[in-house]
Amino acid sequence: MFTGLITDIGEVTAMRRRGELARIRIACSYELDTLAIGASIACSGPCLTVVAAGADRRAWFEVEAAAETLARTSVGEWRPGRRINLERSLRIGDELGGHLVTGHVDAVARVLERGDSDGAARFDIAAPGPLARFIAEKGSIALDGVSLTVNSVWDAGFSVLLIPHTLAVTTWGERKAGETINLEVDLMARYAGRLLDKAH
């Protein structure tokens, strides 16, 4: 479980494919002795398991992404040099400053438009059809692993407004129209929708 509050920006340094499995090395600023094998780290949204760790000039860890992850997220598009948002899993007693994020990406969405003003940026996002009903104005959503508040909603999409701080400490400062992002709808909205479906 995660909060959607990014604790580091990592960089993909290697990606090796073997059949339907991809092994990815990510350089980071975490202390090496805190990168436990088997630990879960949200990598721009998807929750991935650390399978190796070490250090060169920077600490690094490796994760493996299976066919399901490659098909349902943007991980398959990653290449060396790609910067990604990182968050380690929530521990009992940690402050829940964002919202509950599972790291289970629902779909890949697309940035329709970016508008900058006074250091902030508004992003219009295309909502994948089946997920639109889970996205509500002033509700929470995780985009590339970042907990954000939905600013407005319309039939085919929604918008979010990012303050300068968020643009500076995540990869959102680099995002532009046409790019794909990992989308996870709010956990509570998903369960509420499921209960409504069962009631009919």
- Give the residue numbers annotated as catalytic, written as ranges: 2, 40, 47, 49, 66, 104, 149
Give the CA distances from residue 172 to residues 16, 20, 175, in Å, rounded to whole numbers and listed in that order. Answer: 26, 29, 5
Adjacent-strand bridge partners of 64: 23
Q: Tell me, what amino acid is at 16? A: R
Do the Cβ atoms of 164 and 172 come closer than 8 Å?
no
Q: Is the dihedral of CA 72, 106, 163, 29 positive or negative?
A: negative
Do the Cβ atoms of 138 and 189 come closer than 8 Å?
no
Instruction: Calculate the CA 171 to chain-centre distance.
Output: 10
Instruction: Return d(Cα 60, Cα 1) in angstroms, integer.
Output: 22
